[in-house]
């Protein structure tokens, strides 16, 4: 899998500002609107990235602890729209957490991961920690990790795959079964605040 894309600084700033605006608007109990980028703001290449369907995750952390993380692997809506929706969802809809509060917001860090398209990983020995995000599918189970997760957790490749099994709700080592499918992808990750 070759490195697939880069998100320019101007696009990063626009996406970051959009994510922050969505969260702050919702915290102020105001209606959240989706703003589209304009052709006047961007050159055609940057605008094409924002307007193309793209998978994205938005991650919130407070004091390096996860506070919310929601995203979509499949690129089924324009990237700019997906960032709006995932920022709101990470802050207020992650089922693992209560909705973000105004008191928490000043201490909250926001990270955006723009995803490449995924493809089948034919050789698990080629998985690079910190580069490849993984998707596991086995029977009716599935699980996904962003590329930065095994780095943050200090996992090696086998630990990464075993924890992916656990996240999918299957026993560690299931990744070794021939009927288990592992897909990989990359992410362009940047901090917003």
Give the residue from 164, 166, 129, 165 showing the smallest Cα distance to 150. 129
Class of domain 9-116: alpha beta
Mean pLDDT by 10 residues, the chain (193 residues): 68 96 97 89 89 95 96 92 97 98 97 94 96 97 95 97 98 97 95 92
- State the CB neighbour count (10 A cutoff) for residue 3: 9
Strands lying side by side in the sheet with 187-191: 65-72, 56-62, 108-115, 187-191
Evaluate whether 9-116 and 119-186 have a shared fold: no
What is the CA 101 to chain-centroid distance, rounded? 22
Beta-sheet pairing, 181-185 with 56-62 = unpaired
Say what the pLDDT of residue 83 is.
97
Taking each helix axis from N to C end, the angle separating 9-27 and 79-92, rounded to the nearest 10 degrees, works out to 40
Say what the pLDDT of residue 2 is.
41
Per domain, the residue ranges of the chain are 9-116, 119-186
Q: CATH classification of 119-186 is 3.40.50.2000, yes or no?
A: no
């Amino acid at each position: 899998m070759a490195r697939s894309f880069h998100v320019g600084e101007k696009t990063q700033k626009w996406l970051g500002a959009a994510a922050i605006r969505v969260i702050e608007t919702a915290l102020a109990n105001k209606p959240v609107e989706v703003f589209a980028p304009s052709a006047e703001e961007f050159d055609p290449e940057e605008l094409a990235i924002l307007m193309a369907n793209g998978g994205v995750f938005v991650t919130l952390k407070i004091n390096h602890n996860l506070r919310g993380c929601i995203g979509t692997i499949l690129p089924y809506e324009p990237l700019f729209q997906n960032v709006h929706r995932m920022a709101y969802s990470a802050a207020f809809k992650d089922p693992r957490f209560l909705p973000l509060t105004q008191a928490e917001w000043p201490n909250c860090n926001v990270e955006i991961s723009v995803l490449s398209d995924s493809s089948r990983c034919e050789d698990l020995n080629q998985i690079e920690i910190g580069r490849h995000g993984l998707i596991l599918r086995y029977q009716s189970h599935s699980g996904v990790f962003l590329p930065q997760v095994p780095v943050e957790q200090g996992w090696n490749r086998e630990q990464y795959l075993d924890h992916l099994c656990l996240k999918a709700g299957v026993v560690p080592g299931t990744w070794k079964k021939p009927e288990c499918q592992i897909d990989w992808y990359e992410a362009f990750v940047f901090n917003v605040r």
